[in-house]
Structure 1
Amino acid sequence: MNRRLLSSDVDGTLAGFQPATDRFRECWLELQQESRPLLCFNTGRPVDDAREFTRSIDLPAPDFVIGGVGTEIFDCARGSLIPEYHDSFGGHWDLRKVEEIVGAFPGVIRQPPENLHPYKSSWYLSDAAKEHIEELEEQLTKAGLNVCVIYSSNIDLDVLPADANKGNALRWLANRLGIPLAGCVVAGDSGNDSSMFFVPEVKGILVGNARPELLEAVAGLGHFHARREMADGVIEGLRHHGVFT
């Protein structure tokens, strides 16, 4: 079993500028297969959408896809979701109650059906102040709901089970595979990626176009901040961490 893993966001990180995406693919495929890290796309997109999109831009085939902001894990070799992952957080999740409270919050617009699934309540909320997000969190807590509220890119609002996020999904997957966290590299650009950078011992890549919300969240953790943007920044970071030469 390979003892290393790259967990990378897709939109704004590996995707967004096709020439850079093409350069990443070329560098990745140049690695010897026996020493190449496992590749995991860790994205806010649902798994099916993520797989279709990454194929359409000709990214390398992944080994795993963590989708829905850390609420589902797809094993590409098996061709199916890993159901045991949901057992780790699904027991105290009440989607109906979450949707009732969030749906009544001023300014929210439900995201389209393809962005939704039973463990993820997703909405649009434009340019919300920090105090407004805290107000929503307080309403959910008062209702007895143990949830995680993630607001990113000044528009995307996701409410998830408390233990479900990109970082916890990565930690769960690494443990299942027997990969030490020190053997994991993570890459991202926005606020919903921050939980990956908080996983102990991982090596991080903040791409050059990383949003202030992410930079502020992980300030002081010592992760590598690339000068280049999107997939070029991932390449730069993988060279820094010794994956690419």
Structure 2
Amino acid sequence: MSGESQQSIRLLLSDMDGTLLLPDHSLSQRTIDAVRSLREAGVLFSLATGRPPRAMLQTIEALGVDLPTAAFNGGTLVHPDGSLLVAHYLPATAALTTLALFADQPEIDVWVFSSGDWLVKDSTGPMVPREQHGLGYPPVVVESFEPYLARIDKIVAASNNTALLVELEARLLEKVEGQAQVSRSQPVYLDVTAMQANKGEALRTLAEFLGVPLAQTAAMGDGGNDPAMFQVAGLSIAMGQAEEAVKRQANLVTASNAEDGAALAIEQYILKR
């Protein structure tokens, strides 16, 4: 965690689910207004999320985001016109190791994201309806993930057994060390992406692209994939409902996403600076 900067903030990079979005995945008017006020004050604003680019479009439009955004935890940075700024794919060896470990776990849904598609072997998995509601589109059912190994953006283990996901996270980290990033983007989701696919690298890349010193950047989030950008940003803000381990790595803690904590943080910690 960088020390809290007293410089004015010129760029805010924010997580979506659990941060900007309410628990039902909608945007409050207060959040929309807060982001508009940022833009009017000359503060650049963009998004960094574990979601695929396709599942960001509604939020991008609602907030008027006109900068590159980071999908797949930073594995893909996409310009507003849909062209790629950066793309990092999961190495095939790490993907095979991950899929082999997850295959032995009957309590998890296993999903692969590749070339814009959400791939599943079983569309009746218990976690599928939640993900479909969040993404806004259905999965593609495939017999095997192996034909997609060359261009995997992200593998996800999804389960309501959060203790199992914590255990799998530790086991997988040992197996793919130096090959892949493993983190829980939400308590019920364990994400596996390329080593360069983290929100910290996304913030570095975006700040360099925009010509903003890192000391004048802020990052806001709630999940286990967000401290990577907390470590890089000049100012870091955790959501009130985040796990204690996430909060400890941020400079500041705001209210929960159910209480418009993101809007509150923008109003109090960025616009007033």
What is the TM-score when the length of structure 2 is the normalising length? 0.71
Shift of residue 188, structure 1, vs aligned partner: 0.9
Shift of residue 216, structure 1, vs aligned partner: 1.1
| Paired residues for 1:80-229 under 5 Å | 80-82=83-85, 85-86=86-87, 90=89, 94=93, 96-106=95-105, 107-111=107-111, 114-115=117-118, 118-125=152-159, 126-129=161-164, 130-141=166-177, 146-199=179-232, 201-209=233-241, 211-212=242-243, 215-219=244-248, 221=249, 223-227=251-255, 229=257
Structure 1 counterpart of 2:32, from 25, 41, 48: 25
Shift of residue 54, structure 1, vs aligned partner: 4.5
What is the aligned-residue identity percentage? Answer: 26
Shift of residue 25, structure 1, vs aligned partner: 1.6
> For each residue in 1:177-231, what CA deviation from the matched residue of structure 2 results, as whole angstroms up to 9, or x when unmatched?
22111111111122222211121x421121223x21xx31451x45111135357
Gaps of at least 5 residues in structure 2 are 1-8, 120-150
- Give me the whole-angstrom Cα distance separating, in 1, the residues matched to 2:250 and 2:239: 14
Task: Give the partner amino acid of 2:237.
Answer: I
Contact 2:239 2:247 in 1 (8 A): no
Corresponding residue SS for 1:128:
helix
Query: Residue 28 and residue 52 in structure 1: after superposition, are their counterparts in 2 closer, same or farther (change >3 A)?
Result: closer
Task: Give the partner amino acid of 1:27.
Answer: A
Query: Residue 140 and residue 228 in structure 1: after superposition, are their counterparts in 2 closer, same or farther (change >3 A)?
Result: closer
- Which of the pair has the greater relative contact order for Cα pairs under 8 Å at 6+ separation? 2
Q: CA RMSD in A?
A: 3.0
Task: Give the partner amino acid of 1:102.
Answer: L
Corresponding residue SS for 1:13:
helix
Shift of residue 168, structure 1, vs aligned partner: 1.4
- Give me the whole-angstrom Cα distance separating, in 2, the residues matched to 1:91 and 1:103: 16
Gaps of at least 5 residues in structure 1 are none
| 1:45 lines up with 2:51 in the alignment | yes
- Give me the whole-angstrom Cα distance separating, in 1, the residues matched to 2:188 and 2:90: 29
What is the TM-score when the length of structure 1 is the normalising length? 0.78
Query: Residue 180 and residue 231 in structure 1: after superposition, are their counterparts in 2 closer, same or farther (change >3 A)?
Result: farther
Paired position in structure 1 for 2:13: 7
